[in-house]
Structure 1
Amino acid sequence: MANVLNLLNWRYATKKMDPSKSVSEADVDTILEAVRLSASSSGLQPYQVLVVTEPSLKAQIREVAWNQAQVTDASHVLVFAAWDHYSAERINQMFDLVNAERGYINEGFEAYRQKLLAFYPNRTPAENFEHAARQAYIGLGSALIAAAELGVDSTPMEGFEPAKVDEILGLSELGLKSVLLLPLGYRANEGDWLQGQKKVRRSKEQFAIWR
């Protein structure tokens, strides 16, 4: 546990990446696997992660992301994109996958499938997208910790225009909407005003409420 806390104290939202350094494919794969293995409501994994490395695409995204330099200086930009709606097809695909992988059909699991089919598709697309987006944030937490474990710097970002990122990456055709960006790279030796600053959080007494 002490090691996890050390990692969380080490990581910070890097403000300037070193564009000459690139995260290895193996490390990116490990970070993606940590996200893939993350918890999600009902195990549906209602989001996907796009890995953007093409310089021209990163430049376009930077233009609609408040001109944040990390987008182009990082070697990889992860785009967390949530389902735009829960459909019966999407729900069934996940339940069918579980049954196939486990090699049998569990009656309780099938009853739960029917509950979800009766509930999720009948909500509005906006309600379902907001729910799916919250699951993406769970995956983000796993990505941040996995990156820190590998000594990879990261900068979670909400400061961008989602509709324009969706257009750049063709997400609507995939039934997805962008939720957040996560540039991955390595901190620059100079020019990062936040590097080396003391990490400040509210005290445990102020933060945790016991009942």
Structure 2
Amino acid sequence: MNTIQSLEWRYAVKKFDTEKTLSQEQINTLKEAFNLTATSYGLQPLKLLIIKNKDIQKELVAHSWNQPQVLEASHLLVICIPKEYTALEVEKYFELVKKIRNTPDAIIKPFKEFLTAEISSKKQEELLIWNKNQAYLALGNLLTVCALEKIDSCPMEGFIPEKYDEVLNLNNQNLTSVLVLPVGFRADDCYMKDLAKVRKNLTETVLEIS
């Protein structure tokens, strides 16, 4: 399949085949795709939690509006962001830039100072919203990669972050859950499997200026 065919193949799976499991190679592909996601300034204020533990998945169903995909999926991906975000992350980022690119301090300094001031000037509420936007970039990237790799998925906002954070012990790691993505393989009797995709006409969603 080409890219468009793969995206047409994708849908939000309502029932996973519980007998099928993603290979380690497929999981590694999703890890790499997540890590390669574009983020604002390249700061990557995100963590990906990969769960393959049926007891934990079962416990999380109750905190996911009882959506069975959370348990049925091969793996449950949870995208998290820091609860407290500081300019220390800028320092870490530019240390990595120096290590990987061997960029001189003289070149780094102006941009580093700008980013440090930018983050230091914002309230934590603003930074949470900003970082949450980065999480949606990662989700979109993962959905596309899943489609290309023929991995089924079901993006979810319908869950209780506070309960997820409690069950997954995220509070002790300065993290909070933002988005959930069960991944696996569609069941043969998933009622959505053969339904036509409903999308507006391109002329309604795309504006071209020439």
TM-score (norm 1): 0.94
**Residue of structure 1 in register with 2:77 after alignment:** 78
Distance 2:174 2:93 in 1: 16
Deviation at 1:109, TM superposition (A): 3.1
Distance 1:202 1:76 in 2: 32
**Residue of structure 2 in register with 1:198 after alignment:** 196
> Do residues 51 (structure 1) and 50 (structure 2) align?
yes
Letter in 2 for 1:88: A
Deviation at 1:35, TM superposition (A): 1.3
> Do residues 113 (structure 1) and 85 (structure 2) align?
no
**Residue of structure 2 in register with 1:151 after alignment:** 150
> Do residues 35 (structure 1) and 29 (structure 2) align?
no
Distance 1:44 1:76 in 2: 26
Distance 1:116 1:171 in 2: 27
| Unaligned 5+ runs, structure 2 | none
* Superposed CA offset, 1:153-174 (max 9, x none): 0000000001111111111222
Helix, strand or coil: the match of 2:2? helix
**Residue of structure 2 in register with 1:24 after alignment:** 23
Distance 2:117 2:202 in 1: 42
* Superposed CA offset, 1:61-85 (max 9, x none): 1110011111101110110001223
The answer to whether the 8 Å contact 2:7/2:148 transfers is no
Distance 1:120 1:85 in 2: 12
Deviation at 1:177, TM superposition (A): 1.2
| Unaligned 5+ runs, structure 1 | none
Deviation at 1:105, TM superposition (A): 2.1
Distance 2:118 2:27 in 1: 36
Helix, strand or coil: the match of 1:181? strand
Deviation at 1:128, TM superposition (A): 0.3
> Taking every aligned residue pair, what percent have the same amino acid on both sides?
35
Deviation at 1:16, TM superposition (A): 0.1
Letter in 2 for 1:20: E
Task: Give the paired residue count.
Answer: 209
The answer to whether the 8 Å contact 2:46/2:80 transfers is yes
Distance 1:59 1:157 in 2: 16
* Superposed CA offset, 1:76-117 (max 9, x none): 011000122321222211111111111232534321111111
RMSD after superposition:
1.4
Distance 1:40 1:113 in 2: 16
The answer to whether the 8 Å contact 2:16/2:72 transfers is yes
**Residue of structure 2 in register with 1:88 after alignment:** 87
**Residue of structure 2 in register with 1:208 after alignment:** 206
Letter in 2 for 1:24: S
TM-score (norm 2): 0.95
